[in-house]
């Protein structure tokens, strides 16, 4: 599997650069301590030095999508990525937008603007899960991306059925997260956590159930 630069990479670099340039342009205006974690109510409860936080987040926004680009090289089933390559690139772009948007929102909070972090996170996660769910059925067996469980990795048919089951489930969870964004901070947090937890556990239960039924029918 050859790794080539493509238009998605160019777009990722442009979007990540916009976020990094914004952080650089307001660096002198930022307080020395920047919110680095927010509690369930959407209020800052932990802070980091801007001299560490800004470079760390900038590197994450820029380089995580490219780490994802190179991971398939290490995958024994690397050729399968070509079968869902367009979606994989779209997901890398979505990660860039999500991380960049979150980074920008934190900077605005640090600058004193009134930003509803709970709403930002719910909207971002909701859209991200909708993208994942919409294309999840296209993902072919591999070691790094998708629903990676002992039962899905052992049996390609269990993988296929599990990912087709997961797709609509995650789209639905994403839509509900968008609605949760309009709830008060603490409610938005807990509703989102329940949705994320349910949408993570149910595919595992389904994969095990499918695997067991297939084994018992042999």
Per-position pLDDT tens, the chain of length 218: 678 899 999 999 999 999 999 999 999 999 999 999 999 989 999 999 999 999 999 999 999 999 999 999 999 999 999 999 999 999 999 999 999 999 999 999 999 999 999 999 999 999 999 999 999 999 999 999 999 999 999 999 999 999 999 999 999 999 999 999 999 889 999 999 999 999 999 999 999 999 999 988 76
pLDDT of the residue at 218: 60
Long-range CB pairs of 37-42, under 8 A, 24+ apart, other chains included = 38/117, 38/118, 40/185, 40/186, 40/189, 40/190, 41/118, 41/185, 41/186, 41/189, 42/116, 42/117, 42/118, 42/119, 42/185, 42/186, 42/188, 42/189
* pTM value surpassing 0.85: yes
Per-residue pLDDT, 199: 96
Q: Which two tokens stand for residue 184?
A: 């008060």
25 CB neighbour count, 10 Å cutoff = 10
Nearest in space to 100 (alpha carbons), one of 193, 195, 11: 11
What's residue 216's pLDDT? 82
Q: What does the pLDDT read at residue 139?
A: 98
């Amino acid at each position: 599997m050859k790794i080539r630069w493509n238009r998605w990479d160019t777009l990722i670099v442009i979007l990540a650069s916009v976020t990094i340039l914004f952080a650089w342009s307001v660096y002198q205006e930022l307080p020395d301590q920047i919110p680095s974690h927010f509690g369930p109510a959407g209020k800052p409860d932990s802070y980091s030095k801007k001299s560490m936080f800004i470079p760390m987040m900038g590197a994450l926004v820029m380089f995580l999508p490219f780490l994802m680009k190179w991971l398939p090289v290490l995958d024994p089933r690397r050729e399968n990525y070509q079968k869902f390559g367009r979606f994989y690139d779209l997901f890398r772009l979505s990660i860039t937008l999500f991380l960049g948007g979150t980074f920008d929102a934190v900077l605005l909070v640090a600058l004193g603007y009134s930003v509803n972090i709970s709403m930002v996170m719910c909207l971002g996660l909701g859209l991200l899960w909708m993208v994942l769910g919409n294309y999840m059925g296209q993902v072919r067996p591999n070691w790094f991306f998708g629903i990676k469980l002992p039962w899905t990795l052992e049996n390609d048919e269990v993988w296929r059925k599990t990912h087709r089951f997961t797709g609509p489930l995650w789209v639905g969870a994403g839509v509900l997260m968008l609605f949760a964004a309009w709830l008060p901070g603490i409610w938005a947090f807990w509703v989102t956590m329940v949705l994320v937890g349910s949408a993570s556990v149910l595919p595992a239960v389904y994969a095990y159930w499918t695997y067991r039924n297939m084994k018992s029918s042999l």
